[in-house]
Amino acid sequence: MPSRPGVPGPGAGAGWAGVERVVAVGDVHGDYDQFVTLLRGAELVDRKNNWSGGRAHLVQTGDVLDRGPQARRALDLLIKLTDQARRAGGRVHALLGNHEAMNLYGDLRYVAPEEFAAFRDSDSEARRAAYYEQYVEQLKKSPPPGGLPRFDDEYRKQWLAKTPLGFLERAYQFGPNGVYGKWLHSRNGVVKIDGTLFLHGGISAKYAGYSAREINERVRAELAAFRPPENGFTTDPDGPLWYRGLMQDPEDSLRDHVDRVLAFQNIRRLVVAHTVTDGTVMPRLGGKVVGIDVGGAECCAYTLHRGRNIPLPGDSGSGLLDYLRQAAALDPQPSPLARRIAELEAALTQPLRK
C-alpha cells in the first residue's frame, strides 16, 4: 500500500514498497573480512566501513554469529550500519537466524574460542575465580541427582576448560540486560520488500498459514524468554529459522507449496539463506526461490559473484545453465559449480536422446 520510496506499510511485518535498491547478504558466521568485502563490493560502505549506500536497503538474513573468529566485529559493524543507514534514508534489515536464537538460548556449541577471548577484560580472571566458588557452593546446597562430584584439581581443571576467559562476559552481553541480547531481541525473523520475502531458513507447509507479521511476533515472543521453547518457531526444524526444504527438496515437489506461499504472502519470490549453495546465489523454480547462503545478491536482478554482477535467470533450464556457466568462469578452476552444471546439462539434453 505504501507508494512513497522506502516507506514501510502499517504495522510490523507489513513490508516496504518503492525501495530503489536492495542488497541481500547471507550467512556471515564470524567471517568479518568477507562480510566487509561484500559490503564494499556492493558500494554500501566506504573504505572506513561507514555507510555509503544512501537510500539503499541492506538485508542480512541472519547467522552473523558462530563458527568464525570475528563474529563480534561483524555484529558491531551491523549495529553501526543500522543507525548510519537510517540517518541516510536507507535501511539495514538485520534478520534473525537459527544461530542468533541458539546464542540467546545459551547454546554455545558453535562459538569459536576467539569469540570468548574477544570479551575478555582485565577483571576476567578474578571474575571467573569468584564465579567458580559460587558455583561450587550452589552445588553443595542443591546437590544434583547423581550426587556431588569430587571438587578436586581435576574437576576444577575441567570446569575452567569449559568456562574460558571471556565466557562470563559474553554470556552477560547476550543476556536480557546485555547490549547484544537487547539488540537481537529487537530484530525480526522476516522482512517483505517490494514483492520479496526475506528470511533465514524458509517457510514450510507447517507454517504456511502465518503472515509475516505473525512470524515476527511469534519469534520475538519466544526469544523474550531467553530459554528454548518446546515445539517453537525458533527451535522447530520446520520453523522459519531452520527449514531447509526450499533449497534441498526436489523442485517438482515444491512447486505447489511455493505457489501457495507466494499467493498467501502476496509476494513474487522468497529469498533464503541457511542452506549452503554450490558456490553462487542459486535461483530455484524459475526464480521464485533464491538461495543466497554464499554471499550477496542485488535483489533480485543480479548476484555479486567474485566482484562481478551476473543477472539472475528467470527460468530453471537454459537460463539457469547460462547463469551458472558465467559464475563458474569467474571461479578458480575447477569451479565448485562444475557438478551442478554437468547435472543440468544432462537434464536439458536428455529429451534429445529419446
Q: Could you tell me what percent of the chain has a pLDDT over 90? A: 73
Segments of the chain assigned to CATH 3.60.21.10: 17-107+177-309
| Average pLDDT, integer, range 207-215 | 97
Q: How far is CA 157 from CA 120, 161, 353, in A?
A: 19, 6, 67
Fold of 17-107+177-309: Purple Acid Phosphatase; chain A, domain 2 (3.60.21)
Tell me if the bond preceding 334 is cis, omega within 30° of 0: yes
The pTM of this model reads 0.85
Examine the pLDDT at 178 and tell me if it is beyond 70: yes
Q: Are 20 and 56 in contact (CB under 8 A)?
A: yes
Interval 190-219 mean pLDDT: 97
> CA gyration radius for the chain?
22
In this predicted model, what pLDDT tens digit does every residue of 266-301 receive, in sequence order? 999 999 999 988 778 899 999 999 999 875 544 455
Which residue from 286, 321, 318 is spatially nearest to 300, judged by alpha carbons?
Answer: 286
Q: Is the pLDDT of residue 60 over 60?
A: yes
Structure confidence at residue 1 as a pLDDT band (50, 70, 90)? very low
Confidence of residue 2 (pLDDT cuts 50, 70, 90): very low
What pLDDT was estimated at residue 351? 55
Q: Give pLDDT, residue 295.
A: 52
Enter the C-alpha cell of residue 54: 544512501
For the segment 118-168, what is each residue's pLDDT rounded down to a tens digit?
Answer: 999 999 999 999 999 999 999 999 999 999 999 999 999 999 999 999 999
Distances from the Cα of 99 to the Cαs of 60, 228, 242, in angstroms? 13, 12, 9
